[in-house]
Structure formats: structure tokens, C-alpha cells
Amino acid sequence: MGRNDMTSTPLRARLHHAWRPFRESGRIARGLIYSGAGVIAGFLLLAFAGPLLYPYGGTQYRVETEPGEFATFPELAPPSAEHWLGTTKDQFDVFARIIDGATIAFTVMTLAVSIAMVVGVTLGLFSGYRGGRLDRIAVTAMDAVYAFPPLVLAIIVAFVLGAYVSPGVVSATFAVGVVYIPQYFRVVRNQTLSVKEEPFVEAARSFGARNRTVLGRYVFFNVVQTVPVILTLNAADAILVLAALGFLGYGVQPPTPEWGYDISQAVDDVAAGIWWTALWPGIAIVLLVTALTLVGEGLNDVVNPLLRARGKAGRKLNAMPRLRRARRQDDAERLAARVRDLRVGYRTADGPLWAVDGVSFDLRPGECVALVGESGCGKSSMGRAMLRLMPPGGVVHGQVEIGGTDVVTAPESEVRRLRGERAALMFQEPMTRLNPLQRVSDHFVEMIRTHRPKTSRDEARSMAREALVQVGIPPTRIDNYPHEFSGGMRQRVMLALSIVLTPRLIVADEPTTALDVIVESQILSILERLRAEEEVGILLITHNLGVVAEACDRVAVMYAGKIVETGPVDEIFNNPKHPYTRGLVASTISLKTTELRSIGGYPPSLVDPPQGCRFAPRCPYVMDHCTRRPPELAEVGPEQRAACFLYPGAGQPVPYDVAVPSGDPQVSGI
Ligand code: SF4
């Protein structure tokens, strides 16, 4: 077993790691937690050791002096050596009732908060994750419960349970518990809605994680961060509600000791100048509530690692990757991907639209095809559709064949197996694609064992180390958390996750966006090696034509949901045919650039795209028939095709009076 395996890590180091959030929290937060926890510990000692040490019980009003001889306690005796905090008018010992009242308070508080937490968290998690009708029903029900003032709701529940079951500790517990269910539900549901859209959850799905894995490991553990805070704050509230119920006579029934009830019985005593019967239960309530609140507030600063992770400085980059020599066993003759008439649609507030509208292309093993175009032209939608990772409400039509599976029509279980194993999606925004609560090793082990359940944990870690080495990350970093890596290293970790199961296809969506040129070059080198040595087909989605020139064989130019030109990189850069491609190439900045250029106008709305050529409103060569029907992709050169009526085969003969463009297209200067 390797030196860096968790199983061989010294216990002290592991404890050190586990307590890091606590250490990193501020001094004030730690002070709050320490002081609150000290008071709570004192009350716990009182509740559970007190009955063993103090000679009287909370419902005891006499003591046996001789066998068979009893002496009753004095009525309303002030504090003394015999009755430390005095006695009540019912001749009970006040300190004994404080002790037993603490036991009741902790019991009711623990059970009530546990009931609220289990029901609220479970319901909130499923409701937020599943959405739809279940969510609407649950939200309506919880909103209705939440609308009641807590004490009124607790009284109603205690009254009903008292009438139909029995009044006492059980009904008080449920009454207090029901009050807090909506709080857990609302917080957990809202966070689930947010976390399930997080990039690292989408990334987990892209690697083929099952729904229960995503819900359990990715959503639950990120959502559950706030539960301890709510729990401690609710516990403080629960003590107050219990006391209020007792004060009003709806809670724990006499003679069982309960602080709120005891205060209600002492109201007349205060008016008569007898202070000790009300003061001590009051102090007990205030102290315990304050202590629980302090712990809750302190935890609030400690338990959120997402916040702590922000602002971490980046780390130095590592050496360039060492090449792995093992070759894939797949049949190189088969296509890495075959896309036919792919359509990707969404419903929007303005109406339905097709972000990708009838796209077809092939991707061969070992080939890198660049998908370029302006923002919003459908590139990322197409990348996600290739692994059927659509946002809610997105629809996919057509055919995407990867390794013999039609991703569009295959059952979800089959597509899930394919993700990560046969095809991987590498996202932009590497800073947010890894679960901040999991070590890098956990990401690898989980993904590998999802696809290959028989792989042992040690084997999975070994595969992970090998993949990390391939992307130039020292294997000693395997147990680091994502926030301990720089942006470039995280992107390389994502790349290592993409290649650890040696997929035939990688869809890389802006993999170098927001990275500096050195890291960009490293990522591109790794992709280049993967396709050259392991015959991985790569679809590189980018708006950066410089990256395309460096890394790709072929280019597909997208405009307004359609491919308008495809061809070898050299032809596209040196001899672009479609006016839009010409505009794109002319807009590229190089060392020879003396004037910044852009294509005039904006892409059309895809809710209501132009009937004919979608580029017509911006095209300097537009002709009458361009606006009547769309041009088709036609051969315009060796392996080069363009959808433009300026070239034969697009559906209309070339107009005799229009010259095929040469030189720079008309572009507007900035
Ligand atoms: Fe321009 Fe017409 Fe070609 Fe469209 S089809 S790019 S409008 S010339």
C-alpha cells in the first residue's frame, strides 16, 4: 500500500486534517463555541449525574428519617444547606426540580429536534431534487405549516395529541418537533435546488454517477452543511417553546418537573416577595438557551467549507506530464462519434427554440474537431447533447452514435454507463466542477467504481495516480481537496478524471477558458498526446481560433444553431468560403493585426430565426433568394463544405453577376 494511502496515514495527521475547518475558523467563532459548549456540558452533567449525587428527587416532598418515619419538606423554605435553592409551595426541592427539569428539557429537545430534522431534511432533499408535482405539494404543505406562529402551532398539536393520545412528555415532544419541520424543509430544499445545478454535480453526472450517488454524496453532503447550525438554533428555540407550553399548561404535565410549568406556579410567589421559586428555573432556561445559541452562531462560521475555500491562493504549477505508453485496444476503424441531424431544443419565456438545428458530422478516433462560433450559437448545447446532459426542459432529437450506442434513444442506464467509460465531457470553469467536500482521490474512486464495481479501492487509487501523472500532477496530491489546487491544476484534475477510464471520445467545452497561456498550452499538449497516442477522438468547443490552429485537424463553424462550414484547419484559416467564416477569421487577432475587426450586427433570435440563410441579415453578399430558403452544405473544396448560395450545390446556381468573395470580407472596424 502506498505511502499516501489514507489507510496508512498516521492517526494524528488524519485528526489534524479533520479538525482543520475548526482551526481555520476565527477566534471569535471558537470562543462562542467553547463557552456555549461549556455551559451545555454543565447542564448535561447536572441532568445525568445530578440525580445520583443530590439526595432528593424533583417530585419528592418528604424524606424518611427513621424506618417508616417521614419528615415532609417545609413549604416555601428559602435556600439553605438542606435545600440548596429552597422549596416550593408544593414542598418540592427547587434544586431537585432544576435537575430533573434539565433531564426533561434535554430529552424533549433532542427527540423533537431529531424528528424535525429527519422529516424536514428528507422531505426537503427529495422535494428539491425531484421537483415537479411532489415538490409543489410539499412546498404548499410546508408553507401552510410555516404560516402558523410556532407557539400557536405547538399548542394546537399538544392539545390534539393530549386529547387523543395522552398529555405529557410524548405529546410535548411531537408538538415541539412539528414546529421546526418547515425550517429544515425550506433550507434544505432551497439549497438542494441550488446545489443540483452546481457544475460539480453536472460533472458527476457526466461521469455516469447514478441518481442516488449524486443525491447522497454530492447534493446531501453539500446541503447538510447548514443543518448543525439550524439544529443548535432550533434546540434553543425548542427549550423556549417547551417552557412556554409548560407555562400555559399544554406541555409536560405536573407533577413531572418542567421549568416553564414551575415558573407558572411561582407567579404568585414573586408577588409575595418569594424570589427563589421562579428565579432558578428562569436562570436555567436563559443559560441553556443562550449556550445553545452561542454554539449555533459559532458553528455558522465553522461548518461552511465552500466559503472557506474561496480566496485560497493558487499553487505553483507542476512539471509537464509524463507520457503513458499503453495504447487503447479499441478498433481504430470505428468512428469515435457519428452525429446525424441533431436538434436540441429549449422552452424559453419567449417561446420554444432550437439551439442546435439539424447538425451532422463524424469524428474519427484520434481526430480533433473544433467547433467554433460566437457565444450563443449552440456549441455548448451540442456538446452536452452528445452525452445527453441537458438542463431541465431541454429536448434532443436526431442521432448521436458513440461506441455503438445511440445516446439520444438509449435507456438512461446505458447512457450513464457510457459517460466516463466511453465518452467524457470536460467542462469550462474548472474552479467549480469538483465537489469541494471530497478529496481528489474520492472523485476518482467513486467514478471508477461506479463503472467498474469489481475494482478495489486500492486499484482505483492506483489508476487515479497514473491518470494524475499523465496530466502532470504529482500523485502525492491525490488526497488534497479541490481548493488546494490552482485553477490550472483543477482543470488538469478534471482532464485526469476524463481519461482515467480511457474513453474513445472527449468533448472538451472551452477547456482553457480563464486559464493563463502556459496552462492552456499544457492542457492542449495533453489533449494532443491523448489523440496521437491513444486515438481518443476530441470535440473541442471553443471560440478561440488560436487554440483551434494549435490543436485541431478539422473545424466545424456553427452559426445560429447550424453548421455553416466544415473543413481542414488549413483550409478554414487560409481559404475560408462562407462569409461568416471569413468574418470570424478576419476578426482573429494576430501579430500582423493592425486593426481590430468584428462582424457587423448580431446573431438572430433562435425563437424566430430568419426563414432563409440565417446569416443573411449580416451578410455583405446577401442576395434575394438567400432570404427565401436555407442553403445546404455543399462541397466547396477538398474536404471542405459550406452552406452558402455563393457556391454550387447549396441549392441555387451561383448568380452570374455576383463574384465569389476573395480577399477580406467587408467587416466593420471597432
Ligand atoms: Fe450570405 Fe447568401 Fe451565403 Fe447566406 S447564403 S452567407 S446570405 S451569400
Q: Strand 351-363 and strand 423-426: pairing? A: unpaired
Predicted pLDDT at 515: 66
Instruction: Tell how many helices (H) and how many strands (E) occur in the chain.
Output: 24, 16
Pocket test for ligand 1, best of 645, 660, 666 (most atoms within 8 A of CB): 645
Nearest CA to ligand 1 atom 5: 644
CA 516 to chain centre: 26
Nearest CA to ligand 1 atom 7: 616
Q: Strand 423-426 and strand 405-406: pairing? A: unpaired
* The dihedral sign for the CA sequence 656, 659, 661, 667: negative
Binding pocket residue ranges, ligand 1, CB within 6 Å: 578-579, 613, 615-616, 619, 621-623, 626, 631, 644-646
- For the record, the C-alpha cell of 55 comes out as 439526595
Pocket test for ligand 1, best of 582, 621, 657 (most atoms within 8 A of CB): 621
Predicted pLDDT at 657: 41
Other beta carbons within 10 angstroms of residue 668's beta carbon come to 11
How far, in Å, is the centroid of ligand 1 from the Cα of 372?
18
How far, in Å, is the centroid of ligand 1 from the Cα of 667?
15
Per residue in 171-225, pLDDT (tens digit) is: 888 888 898 898 888 888 877 877 777 777 777 777 777 778 888 777 887 777 7
Q: Collapsing DSSP states into helix, strand and coil, what is residue 343?
A: strand
Nearest to 560 by CA among 279, 359, 310, 333: 359
The secondary structure of residue 432, as a DSSP letter, is G
- pTM higher than the cut 0.75: no
Query: How many Cα atoms sit within 13 Å of 548 on the Cβ side?
Result: 25
How far, in Å, is the centroid of ligand 1 from the Cα of 130?
46
How far, in Å, is the centroid of ligand 1 from the Cα of 567?
18
Nearest to 104 by CA among 256, 321, 286: 256
Predicted pLDDT at 375: 83
How far, in Å, is the centroid of ligand 1 from the Cα of 646?
7
Which atom of ligand 1 is found nearest the CA of 625?
A: 2
CATH superfamily name and code, 337-552: P-loop containing nucleotide triphosphate hydrolases (3.40.50.300)
**DSSP notation for 442-498:** HHHHHHHHHH-TTS-HHHHHHHHHHHHHHTT--GGGGG--GGGS-HHHHHHHHHHHH
Nearest CA to ligand 1 atom 3: 644
How far, in Å, is the centroid of ligand 1 from the Cα of 571?
19
Predicted pLDDT at 293: 83
- Burial, 279: exposed, middle or buried (Cβ in 10 Å; 0-12, 13-18, 19+)? middle
Predicted pLDDT at 92: 93
Domain boundary assignment for the chain: 24-73+81-307, 337-552, 574-670
How far, in Å, is the centroid of ligand 1 from the Cα of 655?
12
Cα distance between residue 2 and residue 15, in whole Å: 20
State in Å, rounded, how far the first CA of the chain is from the last one. Answer: 61
Residues whose CB is less than 8 angstroms from the CB of residue 275 and which lie 6 or more positions away in sequence, other chains included = 269
Task: Give the class (CATH, top level) of 24-73+81-307.
Answer: mainly alpha
Predicted pLDDT at 85: 93
- Residues in the chain where the model's pLDDT stays below 70: 1-27, 29, 226, 300-334, 428-432, 514-518, 589-598, 649-670
The secondary structure of residue 645, as a DSSP letter, is T
